[in-house]
Amino acid sequence: MGLRSGPSFVALDLETTGMDPQVDRVMEIGLVRFEEGKPVATLSHLIDPKAEIPLRIQALTGIHPGMVQGKPSFADFRAEIATFIGELPLVAHSATFDREFLAAEFRREGAPFGAPVFDTLELSRVVMPRAKSHRLQSLCAELQIKLERAHRAEDDARAAGFLFLKLLAKIEQMDLGLIQLILRTGQPGDWSLAPLFESEWERRTAAGEQPNHVMHWVTPFEGELHDRPDENADEYPARIDPERVLKILGPDGEISDAFPAYEHRKQQLDMALAVTESFNAGQHLLVEAGTGTGKSLAYLVPAFAWAKKNGERVAIATHTITLQEQLWEKDIPFLQAALKGTKLDGVQAAVVKGRPNYICLRKWEESAMGADFLTTDEARTFQIRLAAWLAETETGDKAELNLVGESERQWADVMSETETCLGPKCKWFRSHCFAYRARKRARDADVMILNHALLFADINAGREILPPYRHLILDEAHHIEEVATGALGVKVENWDLRAALAHLWRAAGQGFLYTVKRRLPSEVRFPARAPIGLPSEDLIEALIDRTRDCRQATEDLFRLCVDLVDSNGSVEEEGGAGTLRLTPTVRSGRLWEALDLTRGNAVTRLKHVAEGLSLLAGEIAEMQPPLRDGEGLVAEIQKYASAINVTASEIDEVLLKPGPDDVTWIEMAARGERVRVALRSAPINVGELLREEVWEKLRAVVLSSATLAVGSSFEHLKWRLGLNGLAPEKVRSLLVTSPFNYREQSLVLVPEDLPSPKGLPEKEWTEVVRNFLAQYLVQSGGRTLVLFTSHRQLRQIYNDLKPVLEQEGLILLGQGLDGTRGRLVEEFKSGDRMILFGSLSFWEGVDIPGDELTSVVMIKLPFSPPGDPVLEARTEDLEKRGKSAFAQLSLPQAVIRFKQGFGRLIRTSSDKGVVILLDNRVLPGQTRYGPQFLKSLPKPSIWKDSTPGVLARAKAWLTEE
């Protein structure tokens, strides 16, 4: 296929009734023939699939049963299709899908199908590695390719054809050394895209061009690390001017001058003033700022001012990637642009991530150069993708690659790690190392953005990861106790351990140990020593035997963990999920004795493998003459030895000798035929740890969120986080209301005739919920989010209502049933007649502004479900101290989550909608605690009535102007 002259090919797209080519059928085909780079002919047909077209597919494609009924079948078009394609190669986006469906249709007619297919999805990942998305629509938008009707076959095929041409043009611009490396990595595998790169290689080498050094395209950087004077910061720093902060955010300030459409808010000024005073006085601040406050700028302006005035770094930590990206890509550039030319001009910011987010060039080079006939096609394709990415990236951050699935796992083979870093001994150090560059950017930054997980990883590591700071802003602070609990605990998961041991040894001569053996001179043999060496006398062969035995022993251990959970009745009837707290009662009986015996065997074998790896690392380190690049190999071996030793200790910590202040448990969940099992431990209380490691070591911390208070009180949060142990004058709090008019924008409805779920059998409550939803969801016509507290109940009602709703033309999407959370939200936004069922993770972080979401139904007050090990342990701890666990733990957590669920509805000042709560415990007279839930909301309109009255009121509210 000649590139410069313009290739000839046929672009293909199919629309089908589903995803399984053995069951589902083609209902539309689009073919566009390109000759010498230009479209010259089309073939497009609607096809009667002789099968049902699911409602979701109808909504996605716009193809309805009436459009295909009576049309010819695929068999009627087969000969025409074959003639149109002829001998030309096919081009398609996500080509595996189209190729398998087309081949299946041809097979049904007894005809062969073997045309070569080039996949523009795979090709785009190579030549456009940093694209935000590799979906056809997104790539067309980025490359300015016209796509009139997405998900219609002819339009998608034509777009794929033009995308192919654009991608070929990018190959022509590639460095020849990179093309050489791509081709070498693609061999000896049968890489489908190789002919495209071979054609370009032949054209340019025939013209006399020669490749440069194989890695010269990775751009070096200059500059040395230097420490800011933060560690010796003045105990009495210079105050920032509150009036100056307010002026920047005010109606006549720099932001308004730079961006006339910017809308200043009094609530934002109140928060900014409180943050400023917190920094000036060296106090900690708890601030709840309602939706629409503009809290990011309210803390960013004081942070900029403080960093500039005092030359001190300010750290900002978020819980979600979404908020981190908003700060980095939107809010900070916005503020920097507005402050250009002022005294706050030049404030530098950096996103700070852990080392594993960055590629290690030494490990990547060894992996790419070491590819051989044993390398899998997936690994080979991943290495090719990384090679092209390295020609473009300035950060080496894996976030640019949008890794999912197998490629996410493969990243572990090339990521930067402290344990395997050679530092100055590495040839890439300083001149090219991405982790070193990131560290330099962090140390140069005035404001650094990180996440909660990295914050606590730094604390666990003795503050050796992050550059020093004394002022911290914790956004999304309602997650701090949860994140600290996880970070300060232990988690050993069977899938992770299985993957680590499989990485060391796999059958058929594969795995890290065989790689080590191949890298050694053939005459080198290291003697094995007991207990590693029996029965083999060769250290590597002995390690292979021990690793194989260890894999079996750990599998036995986790199998018995599943049996233990099953025997205690802690598994859901559906889904195979379960949690079992390891109490003294559980730690008794024959099954526990068997488990303990298996634990001892697994831990012993893990330690044997770790010991053997340490011996191997020592032998290679002492080789004479030294092994080429041996230091990197030794570091890698020692990393595995250390990790396996830690895992063995953690298994013992959970099962054998848990700490007196820890809670331990086993959790499991089915994923298809596989079961994920984890051994867990966590501190019962983290408040004291937070007080010692955060509140007492930092000068000022701002904790911000839209949901921190219960009613108007922060006492629950202060107590849970250990802030109540500080002097009263050290901690301030502020409650900032939202600027939205919730009374006019939102209506809360409670059907008072429904029975209370408290004490009602689950089966009866499910029936009540199903009957109400069957009425309301049809009336709503879509655009409704239903929030459950039980995923089992969600699945059951989903299965019952899906056919009913589809008969009404409504599309029901279920969490854990129809795709990932992000994909479900995007699909929900794509049409009016969508209904989304979500469980606890959907109660927050889902942002659907405007008319795409007009009603939220809360099934039940979101108290944590029974059986949560950490909650049980904390409840017992409180009761031992004579405190009410319900009042001090369960109720505040439920109120905050309830506020988060309510917050899904109103996202902008123009939104309007209805929240229906089916749990009438919030009504006066039902419970003593119920009214606290409604009192915590931002003063919406509230209405109680019978079910018919609620339905009528909801309809009137949503239809009135």
Q: How far apart are the first and last CA of the chain?
A: 61
How crowded is residue 38: how many other Cβ atoms within 10 Å of its Cβ? 11
Helix (H) or strand (E) holding 288: strand 284-289
Cα gap 607→602, rounded to integer Å: 9
Cα gap 359→413, rounded to integer Å: 9
Known catalytic residues are 151
| φ/ψ (deg, to 5) at 719 | -70, -45
How crowded is residue 630: how many other Cβ atoms within 10 Å of its Cβ? 17
Cis previous bond, 188, omega within 30: yes
- How many residues are recorded in the chain? 961
| φ/ψ (deg, to 5) at 704 | -125, 145
For residue 434, give the nearest of 398, 464, 384, 381 by alpha carbon.
398
Q: Which residues are registered as beta bridge partners of 415?
A: 359
DSSP 325-362: HHIIIIIHHHHHHHTTTSTTTT--EEE---GGGBB-HH
DSSP 644-699: HHHHHHHHHHHHT---TTEEEEEEEEEETTEEEEEEEEEES--HHHHIIIIITTSS
Three-class HEC string of 635-659: HHHHHHHHHHHHHHHHHHHHHCCCC
DSSP-derived letter for residue 842 is: G
User: Collapsing DSSP states into helix, strand and coil, what is residue 64?
Assistant: coil
CA atoms within 13 A on the CB side of 852: 16
- Give the relative orientation of helices 266-281 and 242-249 as an angle to the nearest 10 degrees: 150
Cα gap 504→116, rounded to integer Å: 36
Is residue 720 within 8 A of residue 478, CB to CB? The reply is no
Cα gap 542→561, rounded to integer Å: 29
For residue 51, give the nearest of 36, 68, 34 by alpha carbon.
68
Three-class HEC string of 888-925: HHHHHHHHHHHHHHHCCCCCCCCCCEEEEECCHHHCCC
DSSP-derived letter for residue 888 is: I
CA atoms within 13 A on the CB side of 855: 30
Distant-in-sequence, close-in-space partners of 192: CB < 8 Å, separation ≥ 6: 116, 117, 118, 119, 122
- What are the structure tokens assigned to 358, written together? 């960055």
State CA 699 to chain mean position distance: 32
Cα gap 218→220, rounded to integer Å: 6
Helix (H) or strand (E) holding 99: helix 95-108
Cα gap 469→237, rounded to integer Å: 14
- What are the structure tokens assigned to 101, written together? 């469906």
Inter-CA distances, 354 with 12, 179, 426, 452, 801, Å: 42, 31, 20, 11, 45
Tell me, what amino acid is at 146? K
Cα gap 899→934, rounded to integer Å: 9
| φ/ψ (deg, to 5) at 339 | -95, 5
- What are the structure tokens assigned to 62, written together? 């716009």
Cα gap 498→32, rounded to integer Å: 47
